[in-house]
Structure 1
Amino acid sequence: MKQISKRVKKAGAALALLSAEMAIMLLLFIIALLALAYLIRNVIVLHKTGFDQGIFSFLKTRVSERNNDLMLFFTFLGTHKFLIPANLGLIAYFLFIKKHKWYSIKVPAIALTSLALMFGLKYLFHRSRPDVPLLFHAEGLSFPSGHALFSITFYGLLIYIIFKAVQNKALKWCLIALLMILILVIGFSRVYLRVHYATDVIAGFCVGFLWLTFALWMLNRMERYSRQKLDRSVQAQVQESR
């Protein structure tokens, strides 16, 4: 009876933790959705640019060669030149080393759908980039920021994997904190370099979080369904062999 009681308590604690995680994620999802709706209304529909211009004015006094080099480095970590090899390396790791089939599916699925979503939204909202970039001219449209969106979907996926896989709590939260800081700095670099407005970056973060959350939910459901189907198939074969 004591063992049964302990197991029930452990199961209850795990369920409570799961419920807390789900509640937090749901709250963040709603906040991101409302923030995105607010940005679309004010920036795209009403064309309010006061906040963006205020951020540019604030950053203008912080420009230096050292900061330029630093921001160029961090903005590179959000480019396709870095993220394509990084995604391929992550796929190869789960496919050949870790041998986790579903993670090797989740990585490209999230990356490719994020890319399609970015192009679709940029075409839909059709906002031009800032007129006077700091160091270089960036091609394409501005809203939402692709760097911000991809930094959430790629590095956010890494955060999800680390949260699920790393057992050492100190290491887990240290890695998660570093990746969260990296995401924010990548977004900040785009505003500093004046190739995106601050509202573009915030919108990119919101879209990226919404899509990553939805994509993981869908892919996890597909994974559970696949495993259940496989279990039923194995059980059927066992019964037939008897």
Structure 2
Amino acid sequence: MSAGDLHPAIRFVRRRLQRGVPYGLAFTVAFAAVALAVWGFVNVLDAVTEGDDVARFDAVAHGLIYDALGGSPGLGLTVTWFGNNATLIGFVIVVALALVIAKRYWAAFRVVFASGVGGLVITGLKLLFARQRPEAQVIEATGYSFPSGHAFASTVFYGMMVYLVWRLTERRWARVVAAVVGPLVAILVGLSRVYLNVHFLTDVLAGWLAGSAWLVASLLLVDVVETRYRSRRERTEEIGRPDDADPQPHGTGAAT
């Protein structure tokens, strides 16, 4: 039986599971990751709205983290700096400029889009749920508590760095370092917010999950745009090429 004889639903599923094709297996896995992260976020949100049990959980978590790291806020402030708005904006600008100089225009766009629009996403979530911050903060923090903006933003940015390293280099040591350091920084930034008592642990869990969902969703969105842009440009070049012109080698064009 040829592929054309299969039921359209079966053809659709088979294509979603194919490797190396647009909207194939990689797209399916990424979409499933977004759905899983959103499901986790909803479960944390449901737990937060229940009340007393979560309050006890958050209180115990803060006590354990605070006791483990000691009573001086210096370490917490140092770690949380890597998730501050000003810090991450600076990192985004530096990384995007470096990628533009290297003519990795789509990679630069990914960084700016994920972090820039992500800022609007986390702001909207905070306004939507309007959870108050913990009392007796080690440092003063303003605004709503749920989800943690530091956990969200650090997950998006440092997760994007891991993605770019894996996409732009085949050096094994660089990929291993990125895969370890990126998630570790995001985790530590989130825990530092609990240590400083400016967030509940459930805020941080929700920030990690929402950040993961948005990171992968932003990559999917940009991939769709990039794929359509490249296809349209290739069709335009094909129409404008003389009949006797040599075909261009596959894969030339703007760098990713």
TM-score between the two structures when normalised by the length of structure 2:
0.80
Deviations 1:3-32 (A, max 9, x none): xxxxxxxxxx965xx977666545543432
Q: Note the 1:78-227 alignment, pairs <5 A.
A: 78-95=83-100, 97-134=101-138, 136-227=139-230
CA drift of 1:152 comes to: 1.0
In 2, Cα distance between equivalents of 1:168 and 1:60: 38
Deviations 1:146-192 (A, max 9, x none): 00000111111111101111212233112221111111111111011
- Deviation beyond 6 Å, 4+ runs, structure 1: none
Which one of 42, 46, 50 corresponds to residue 47 of structure 2?
42
In 1, Cα distance between equivalents of 2:170 and 2:161: 15
The count of corresponding residues between Structure 1 and Structure 2 is: 226
In 2, Cα distance between equivalents of 1:101 and 1:52: 43
In 2, Cα distance between equivalents of 1:20 and 1:175: 24
Q: Which runs of 5+ in 1 are unaligned?
A: 1-12
Q: Conserved in 2, the CA contact under 8 Å of 1:91 and 1:104?
A: yes
Q: Structure 1 counterpart of 2:229, which letter?
A: S
CA drift of 1:39 comes to: 1.0
Which one of 52, 62, 67 corresponds to residue 61 of structure 1?
67
Which one of 39, 52, 55 corresponds to residue 58 of structure 2?
52
Whichever structure has more helix as a proportion of its residues is 1
Superposed CA RMSD in Å reads 2.4
In 1, Cα distance between equivalents of 2:175 and 2:29: 18
Q: Conserved in 2, the CA contact under 8 Å of 1:44 and 1:125?
A: no
* 2:235 pairs with 1:229: no
Q: Conserved in 1, the CA contact under 8 Å of 2:31 and 2:217?
A: no
Q: Structure 2 counterpart of 1:42, which letter?
A: A
| Overall identity of the aligned pairs, in % | 25
Q: Structure 2 counterpart of 1:100, which letter?
A: R
Which one of 64, 72, 79 corresponds to residue 74 of structure 1?
79
TM-score between the two structures when normalised by the length of structure 1:
0.85
- CA separation of 1:81/1:131 partners in 2, compared to 1, >3 Å: closer, same or farther? same
Q: Which runs of 5+ in 2 are unaligned?
A: 1-17, 246-256
Q: Structure 2 counterpart of 1:176, which letter?
A: A
Q: Conserved in 1, the CA contact under 8 Å of 2:126 and 2:144?
A: yes
Q: Conserved in 1, the CA contact under 8 Å of 2:161 and 2:178?
A: no
